[in-house]
Amino acid sequence: MKRLAQIVALSVAFVMILGVQAMAKTVTITYWHGFTGPDMPYMQQLIKKFNETHPGIVVKAQAIPWGNLFQQLQPVVAAGRAPDVVAVNEDVITGFSARGALTELTPAMLKSAGIDKSRFYPVLWNTAVYKGKVYGVPIHSVALVEYYNKKLLDAAGVDPTKLQNREQFLAALQKLTIDKNGKHANEPGFDPDNVVQWGTMIPLPWMGGSIYYSMLLQNGGAMLNADGTKAVFNSPQAVEALQFLVDLIYKYHVSPANVTEDGSIAAFRQGKEAFVFNGVWRYEDFKGQQGLDFGVAPFPRLGTREDAAWGGSSYLALPRQRSVDAARQKAALAFVNWMTEPAQDLYWTGAGSLPTQPVVAKDASFEGKPMKPVFAGLQYVHPFSGFPWVAQVRAALDEAVGNALLKKETPKSALDAGVSEANKQIADAMANQ
């Protein structure tokens, strides 16, 4: 009996030792993200699955509204209390990288984690590259797209798949803009003051700026010079793009003046606007509108040279740590790799993201789905990023576009003023780095 008790005691001790060893091998990492809307359940499910399939790692996530997260990140890095992994968006990642808030993902780190840049769309990957160094891995993508009212286009005899250039698209917009007497925008006697159906609308301020940015790229223009220190969005290509948008309103009369984004969305839902340019996130809004039969396509080529569209994106990054814990960093990289693998990217599209990888865009599950046509344009999506002063430049751009669309200034003078303001902001930002 005494021997049996000894055996039991030894067994209990052995189990306890194994338990302690197992606990010692478990690495807990923290993860901050801003996916707090309808996408949050998807993110929670992904984290749950990772924890279930990686017994040596525990991810503890904290969902923080994007604005609050971005305000808190730099201070917690400075205080040595940064999370192990953070999700950041395209408009802030370069700024955080330049200010030293993020850890460079070296080629050795990426290779050890199995993260291969070739699986992502190049433009998305390169958005997280600053001065030749990688600071994030794409997890989320959105884009400016075209929605069209099938009923209105059918009535006008317009096939959206045949609109391949500016001239064809403008002709369609003119056929789809109708006044109260039934006359079209390209017909004699058309009354632009009494329009009952619009071809499209160019909303102010932010969406109009995104449409303009897309056309600027389509014309072969650029926001900044090669080293990202000077705004150049008043080039001839830039002026030509803005002039065309102004002409849509005041020359061709296919868009009203001074319309808000909400006004445009309401008109489309009511069947009073044939084409609307907005983000992929609007799909769910339109899908629930009774009686609205619509299609989705990549943003059209309204420019003169090539396909391009504004895009937004999110990245998983490693905040800089005061002292690096090798085990936690390895676990963090494993988490980043798993979260951005094709299987997880496919699941994440259910939350409203576009695929970040061509192999996912080709998945058979998308066949016949309304958003499938958009995938053809994913390689041409360009996030408004790549320099640390995105917010300052974007504000100056939106104001310039708005002033031109409201006819407060000519496109050239508005863009000249916008570039001047942007360069002042850039100089101030550079002085404070």
Q: How many other CB atoms are found less than 10 A from the CB of residue 416?
A: 16
- Position 23 pLDDT exceeds 70: no
* 17 pLDDT higher than 60: no
Question: pLDDT-derived band of residue 19, with 50, 70 and 90 as boundaries?
Answer: very low
Q: Count how many residues are written for the chain.
A: 433
In the chain, % of residues over pLDDT 90: 92
DSSP codes, 126-162: HHTEETTEE--EEEEEEEEEEEEEHHHHHHHT--GGG
Do residues 381 and 141 touch, judged by C-beta distance below 8 A? Answer: yes
Pairs from 216-219 (Cβ < 8 Å, separation ≥ 24): 216/241, 216/303, 217/303, 217/306, 217/308, 217/382, 218/301, 218/302, 218/303, 218/304, 218/305, 218/306, 218/307, 218/308, 219/303, 219/304, 219/305
pLDDT tier, 432 (very low <50, low <70, confident <90, very high otherwise):
confident
**132, exposed or middle or buried, with CB in 10 Å at 0-12, 13-18, 19+?**
exposed
Instruction: Evaluate if residue 389 carries a pLDDT over 50.
Output: yes
Q: How far from the centroid of its chain's Cα atoms is residue 321's Cα?
A: 27
Angle at which helices 66-78 and 90-98 cross, to 10°: 10
Cα–Cα dist 161/154, whole Å: 12
Residues 321, 102: Cα–Cα separation, whole Å: 9
Q: Do domains 22-141+312-375 and 143-311+384-431 have the same CATH topology?
A: yes
Span 348-364, average pLDDT: 96
- For 165-200, write each residue's pLDDT tens digit: 999 999 999 999 999 999 999 999 999 999 999 999
With pLDDT > 70 as the criterion, what percentage of the chain qualifies? 94
Model confidence at 341: pLDDT above 90? yes
Identify which of 83, 80, 72 has the alpha carbon closest to the alpha carbon of residue 31: 83
Q: Is 73 helix (H, G, I), strand (E, B) or coil?
A: helix
Q: Where are the alpha helices (DSSP H) in 204-235?
A: 206-218
- pLDDT, residue 24, reads 52
Which among 422, 430, 390 is positioned nearest to 91, based on CA atoms?
390
The confidence band for 21, taking pLDDT boundaries of 50, 70 and 90, is very low
**Class of domain 143-311+384-431 as given by CATH:** alpha beta
Instruction: Please give the Cα distance from 405 to 302 (Å, whole number).
Output: 16
Query: What is residue 213's predicted lDDT score, i.e. its pLDDT?
Result: 98
Of 109, 95, 88, give the one whose Cα is nearest residue 34: 88
- pLDDT of the residue at 1: 46
Look at residue 2 and tell me whether its pLDDT is greater than 70: no
3 vs 198, higher pLDDT: 198
pLDDT at position 159 over 70: yes
| Higher-confidence position of 179 and 24 | 179
Q: How far is the C-alpha of 57 from the C-alpha of 22, rounded, in Å? A: 11
Scanning 273-341, the segments in alpha helix (DSSP H) are 283-287, 326-339
**Cβ proximity of 257 and 404 under 8 Å:** no
Angle (nearest 5°) at CA 250 between 249 and 256: 35
Query: Rounded distance, CA 323 to CA 277, Å?
Result: 47
Q: Where are the domains of the chain?
A: 22-141+312-375, 143-311+384-431
Model confidence band, residue 433 (pLDDT cutoffs 50, 70, 90) = confident
Over residues 257-306, the pLDDT tens digits come to 999 999 999 999 999 999 999 999 999 889 988 999 999 999 999 999 99
Residue 35 backbone class (left: φ over 0; alpha: ψ -120 to 50; beta: rest): beta
Task: Indicate if the pLDDT at residue 14 is higher than 80.
Answer: no
Q: Chain-wide mean pLDDT for the chain? A: 94
pTM of the model: 0.91
CATH top-level class for 22-141+312-375? alpha beta
C-beta atoms surrounding 116 within 10 Å: 10
